[in-house]
Structure 1
Amino acid sequence: MSVHRQGATAVARLREYAGRLAGRYGPSTGRRGLLTLAALVVLTAPARAHGGPGISSGNVDTPTWLFLMTGGGVIAVSFLLTSFVTDRELISDYHERRVPVPNGEAVRRWGGRIGGALGLLGLVAVLVVGVAGPPQAGRNFAVLFVWVVWWAGFTASTYLVGNGWPALDPFGRLAALLPDRSGVDVPDWVGRWPAVAGLLLLVWLEVVTEVASDPRQLTAVVAVYAVATVAGGALLGHETWRRQFDPVAGVFDLYGRVAPIQRTDDGLELVIPGAALTEVEAGRTTRESEVGFVIALLWVTTFDGFVATPTWQAIAAPIVRLGLPGELAYFAAMLVGYALFFGVFWGASKRVRTSGPTYRAAPHVAAAFAPALVPIAAGYHFGHYLPYLLQQLPAAAVTAAAPLSPPITPPVLGLPGWITWVGPISVLAGHLLAVWVSHSRAFDLFTGKLQPIRSQYPYVFVMVLYTITGLWLLAQPTIDAPFI
């Protein structure tokens, strides 16, 4: 349900060391030490994850305000460094260079066949073992397969290698068995808002129910999702459902655009990581809803962490005492927080018109820059899920060998201490890539040298704000989600 303890240990060590630098060697040396460590400290913004173990914050000597300001300063410094790159030919070469993968068409064809079979087999295994297997989450292959193999492992592969979900997707393959009647005409204004609602709903269910630890509840959610995909594809059209209504396909599509391997009509091609994020797909749905889905992906990681803090408990306690069910309080927090995140980003997009300045409307600007936030989410996911994946992978393998009669205590891998540094480094990489994608997008959208740089001012402020919010969450002690 939350990020891993190893990340908290690394952060505590970093902050304690930063405090010693400032106190022992004086303010000047302390500042230099903090700047050196900032690139690691900022990475610890929480991305509480579905099905992961808990995290507990320790007491540290460094003042919280200094910790937050140092983290936010890393984003500003990253922007300052990228602003020196103004060669349009160099920037254009970043996202336009393509190298075809040898035999890419054959790889896609055979990958689709093999992946489709594996996807259907995995879906059947989850539905059967989730009901007939042991009730303990740590022994049930369905739980381990969904949260360890699929959500932790496969999701990481989508942004590290390439998006294989179109080949693997068992829900889409079941929907393809029915004729595409497209009997319902979806209004243009709907856009991707149904997918936004679906993503928020799935994360809300993960928080307020036992879907991450109860095999029976997990099976029910998977079955409902399969039925909805089949029915929706038949009524609305397979492509309309996938693009506008399916939150899982939307998440993998965004993550896949970070990866170095991209699908084409002729096969596969190699690109520089993140280059596909600079390609704005205008006209497929409304720009507002495209931005909304990116913000939803970023917000759900923050929400999962916020509701496990004493601050949330203090806010929700009087509301629950008035008689509002805890589940509804969580639902209200989900909607309010999402509206806040969306509003901040949209307000920054409006400010670009004056900081740029530019004649382009806010929806066009927002849709161009929103994908730059995706590497941040990918970095959080990898950093916080890699230890969980490595720890639980042996248990998943053992239970897969005997899913209906697994051992009483499946093996769990012990990890070396250096694994705690993977999280900070991966999130740092995500932040740096996000700043560079935003910089590249600005030079593609605006003319001259000064206008593209000035257009990024509002977004730098927003990224600093998002970072400080995440670091503040990390500084809070973590508790079990209250009132549910």
Structure 2
Amino acid sequence: MSTHRQRSVSARHRDDARRLAASVRSAVAGTGTRWLAVLLSVTLFAAPARAHGGPGITSGNVDTPTWLFLMTGGGVVAVSFLLTSFVTDRDLLESYHDRRVSIPGGAAIRRWGGPVGGVVGLLGLAGVVATGVFGPPEAARNFAVLLVWVVWWAGFTASTYLVGNSWPALDPFGRLAAPLSGDGAVSLPDWVGRWPAVAGLLLLVWLEVVTAVASNPTQLTVVVGAYIVATVAGSALLGHETWRKQIDPISGVFELYGRVAPIQRTDDGLELAAPGAALAETDADATTVASEIGFVIALLWVTTFDGFVATPGWQSIAAPVVRAGVPAELAYFGAMLGGYALFFGVYWGASKRVRISGKTYRSAPRIAAAFAPALVPIAAGYHFGHYFPYFLTQLPASIVVTLSPLSPPFAPPVLGLPGWISWVGPVAVLSGHLLAVWAAHARAFDLFTGRLQPIRSQYPYVVVMVLYTITGLWLLAQPTIDAPFI
């Protein structure tokens, strides 16, 4: 072949490569996350439904082995990483995460939302305390139980990551503490960071599992009353901002979930952003690096723990421990701490591996802090998949009981769900992981230079996310039982 011919062919190859790259870039720029929709569509038709018994997953008339179900989910996350690896245009990534659109009337919503939300929050809290004391003892008929667990924890929590975080407007605990809070008479050492909020979150979920607080109105009222006292006293001693940022686990959970949502609060009003865009922002109010990471891991772990202790797998693990004479509550507490340590250790180990795979001299703590917010969509996806069917089932009862909280009907109505609702769990879990992969991809390009280094830096985290995916799908695939031995 002549030299001229070789150059001509090489030129055509380069032109073809440029046109292909341009077409890919144009497709990505024009459709944003079209690949995400394709993956969700594939997942929707490939993911089996949740089992209600038996060793496998049943979808329609086809039985799928659990191992295949789990491997399919992990494979979807791995493939999503491969697809995001083609998105290396920093301008595109920045536009996805930085572009905001002001919502008309957002300033008015902020101006009136606070007072209105405050009244609603205080009325709801008063209703919980009143009906917890004077309402019927049955959980299915008690306004306090239904408002806290169905409307607030299942429904409102989902709204914080699907729509936007409105808890600062509603927060009745903070409003009760506001008149007494000031600059704070006590200052916490810097090393404390956010660890009290981590401990508070783990403690609240442990109490929800080992006590009857989810079904006993009296116990629920005691916990709510204790939270009121703790908020008022803590805000008076430490200052409201210190309490909210470092101690209060509820505000911390909703703040993290709110960063996944498309509606973001600003000083001037409200803005519309791409889902998960706020996860790429640096938290200006961050405390210590380790405690900030620890709170994200705690949020991820407690959503997993809540589902894990309602599986036969946990029953088989706990049985010999309880038979050996260990109190069941202590066994659950040990599992809570041990599981949290395992999740934290796995993530921290992956962050150390990033220094090798990414060939960077950045410290492991800085890397871990940068990527930790990308885990929040995983927790949101599992929360939605775990609680959405429960929310729909109990919503009619919540409405009926709200209309007559002190004398509700003997058998409030519940909603029967169609079979396809069992697809919600797997799709929600995979959707959260796919958004987490995208958020981690964006963080990598913020933290590292070039094109290959950001991609290589994600290898350890992709392995961790695949493991988290398999864990979440495995929990959804298990038949649900009452937490054993308590």
Q: How high is the TM-score relative to the length of structure 2? A: 0.87
Where does 1:149-298 land on structure 2 (aligned, <5 Å)?
149-281=151-283, 284-298=286-300
How far apart, in 1, do the equivalents of 2:461 and 2:249 lie? Answer: 26
How far apart, in 2, do the equivalents of 1:260 and 1:303 lie? Answer: 28
Matched letter for residue 52 of structure 2: S
How far apart, in 2, do the equivalents of 1:379 and 1:142 lie? Answer: 26
Is the Cα contact below 8 Å between 2:47 and 2:427 reproduced in 1?
no
How far apart, in 2, do the equivalents of 1:338 and 1:44 lie? Answer: 28
How far apart, in 2, do the equivalents of 1:165 and 1:428 lie? Answer: 26
Matched letter for residue 72 of structure 1: G
Tell me the equivalent position of 1:70: 72
Q: Cα–Cα, structure 1 residues 43 and 160, in superposed 2: closer, same or farther, change >3 Å?
A: farther
Deviation at 1:86, TM superposition (A): 0.4
Q: Secondary structure of 1:177's partner?
A: helix
Tell me the equivalent position of 1:57: 53
Q: Deviations over 1:416-465 (max 9, x none)?
A: 33333333333332121111111011111111000000000000010111
Q: Cα–Cα, structure 1 residues 44 and 228, in superposed 2: closer, same or farther, change >3 Å?
A: farther
Deviation at 1:468, TM superposition (A): 2.0
Tell me the equivalent position of 1:370: 372
Matched letter for residue 221 of structure 2: T
How far apart, in 2, do the equivalents of 1:135 and 1:101 lie? Answer: 44
How far apart, in 2, do the equivalents of 1:91 and 1:36 lie? Answer: 23
Where does 1:30-45 land on structure 2 (aligned, <5 Å)?
none
Is the Cα contact below 8 Å between 1:43 and 1:427 reproduced in 2?
no
Q: Deviations over 1:371-404 (max 9, x none)?
A: 1111121122223322222221221111111111
Is the Cα contact below 8 Å between 1:42 and 1:74 reproduced in 2?
no
The RMSD of aligned alpha carbons is 2.0
Tell me the equivalent position of 1:452: 454
Is the Cα contact below 8 Å between 1:184 and 1:236 reproduced in 2?
yes
Matched letter for residue 346 of structure 1: W
Tell me the equivalent position of 2:91: 89
How far apart, in 2, do the equivalents of 1:391 and 1:474 lie? Answer: 17
How far apart, in 2, do the equivalents of 1:464 and 1:370 lie? Answer: 16
Q: Cα–Cα, structure 1 residues 44 and 181, in superposed 2: closer, same or farther, change >3 Å?
A: farther
Moved more, 423-432 or 190-199: 423-432
Is the Cα contact below 8 Å between 1:42 and 1:471 reproduced in 2?
no
How far apart, in 2, do the equivalents of 1:425 and 1:133 lie? Answer: 38
Q: Secondary structure of 2:264's partner?
A: strand
Tell me the equivalent position of 1:80: 82
Q: Cα–Cα, structure 1 residues 63 and 290, in superposed 2: closer, same or farther, change >3 Å?
A: same
Q: Deviations over 1:51-82 (max 9, x none)?
A: xxxx8333435444333322211111110010
Moved more, 247-256 or 62-71: 62-71
Is the Cα contact below 8 Å between 2:40 and 2:427 reproduced in 1?
no
How far apart, in 2, do the equivalents of 1:473 and 1:40 lie? Answer: 20
How far apart, in 2, do the equivalents of 1:440 and 1:85 lie? Answer: 10
Q: Secondary structure of 2:470's partner?
A: helix
Is the Cα contact below 8 Å between 1:310 and 1:477 reproduced in 2?
yes
Is the Cα contact below 8 Å between 1:439 and 1:452 reproduced in 2?
yes
Q: Cα–Cα, structure 1 residues 211 and 44, in superposed 2: closer, same or farther, change >3 Å?
A: farther
Q: How high is the TM-score relative to the length of structure 1? A: 0.87
How far apart, in 1, do the equivalents of 2:145 and 2:433 lie? Answer: 31
Is the Cα contact below 8 Å between 2:433 and 2:469 reproduced in 1?
no
Is the Cα contact below 8 Å between 2:96 and 2:277 reproduced in 1?
yes
How far apart, in 2, do the equivalents of 1:336 and 1:43 lie? Answer: 31
Matched letter for residue 446 of structure 1: F
Deviation at 1:364, TM superposition (A): 1.0
Unpaired stretches in structure 1, ≥5 consecutive residues: 1-33, 46-54
How far apart, in 2, do the equivalents of 1:343 and 1:42 lie? Answer: 30
Moved more, 384-393 or 55-64: 55-64
Is the Cα contact below 8 Å between 1:39 and 1:71 reproduced in 2?
no
How far apart, in 1, do the equivalents of 2:49 and 2:279 lie? Answer: 24
Tell me the equivalent position of 2:135: 133
Question: Which has more radius of gyration?
Answer: 2
Tell me the equivalent position of 2:424: 422
Q: What is the count of residue pairs matched by the alignment?
A: 442
Q: Cα–Cα, structure 1 residues 445 and 338, in superposed 2: closer, same or farther, change >3 Å?
A: same
